[in-house]
């Protein structure tokens, strides 16, 4: 099943506690931890605990879980910054996706420019 833990998936291992992460918030179905290579004062990854490959797969499989990801992003930005944030889902390698377990990048804590490419 697409929702089963994937033994080769970095973020499934973090969710399972098999690899360390700096967790800043979590709910029953979603976890938020700091990106290991931050690009902003606040750079947190918000990850559903279930394995889904990208945001479109997640949206189709469980739109409520995608909404929970967005809600936790909002909470993290409120807790760690001023509540204003950018939420980025890279989808596919040409868009910069390198971990194929869906994750929203919460970028916050600064006035953000716009240089997507
Ligand atoms: P993507 O490129 O797939 O959109 O985002 C993957 C993100 O995961 C990158 O920003 C990268 O810095 C981060 N990352 C990769 N490996 C690890 C890790 O082991 N721990 C944490 N916390 N972040 C990671
Ligand atoms: Zn996974």
Pocket residue to mutate for ligand 1, from 11, 25, 37, 46, most atoms within 8 A of Cβ: 37
Q: What is the pLDDT of residue 1?
A: 45
Q: Whose CA is nearest to atom 12 of ligand 1?
A: 37
Ligand that comes closest to the CA of residue 23: 1
Ligand 1 binding pocket includes 54 (Cβ within 6 Å): no
pLDDT, tens digit, 9 for 90 and up, residues 35-50: 999 999 999 999 999 9
CATH code of 10-89, in short, is 3.30.428.10
pLDDT at 113 over 60: yes
Show the tokens assigned to 36.
Answer: 């290991």
**What is the percentage of the chain residues whose pLDDT exceeds 70?**
97
Q: Which ipTM value was assigned to this complex?
A: 0.99
Three-state secondary structure of 16-49: CCCCCCCEEEECCCEEEEECCCCCCCEEEEEEEC
Q: Would you please indicate which residues are annotated as catalytic (active-site) residues?
A: 103
**Could you give phi then psi for residue 79, rounded to 5 degrees?**
-75, -40
pLDDT at 117 over 90: no
**Domain residues of the chain, as ranges?**
10-89
pLDDT, tens digit, 9 for 90 and up, residues 69-84: 999 999 999 999 999 9
- As a whole number of angstroms, the distance between CA 18 and CA 64 comes to 27
């Amino acid at each position: 099943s697409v929702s089963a833990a994937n033994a080769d998936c970095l973020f499934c291992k973090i969710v399972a506690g098999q690899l360390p992460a700096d967790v800043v918030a979590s709910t029953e179905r979603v976890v938020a931890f700091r990106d290991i290579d931050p690009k902003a004062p606040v750079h947190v990854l918000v990850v559903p605990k279930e394995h889904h490959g990208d945001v479109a797969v997640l949206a189709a499989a469980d739109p409520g879980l995608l909404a929970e990801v967005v809600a936790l992003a909002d909470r993290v930005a409120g807790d760690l910054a001023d509540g204003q944030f950018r939420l980025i889902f890279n989808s596919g390698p040409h868009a910069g996706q390198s971990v194929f377990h869906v994750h929203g990048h919460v970028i916050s804590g600064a006035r953000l420019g716009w240089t997507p490419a």
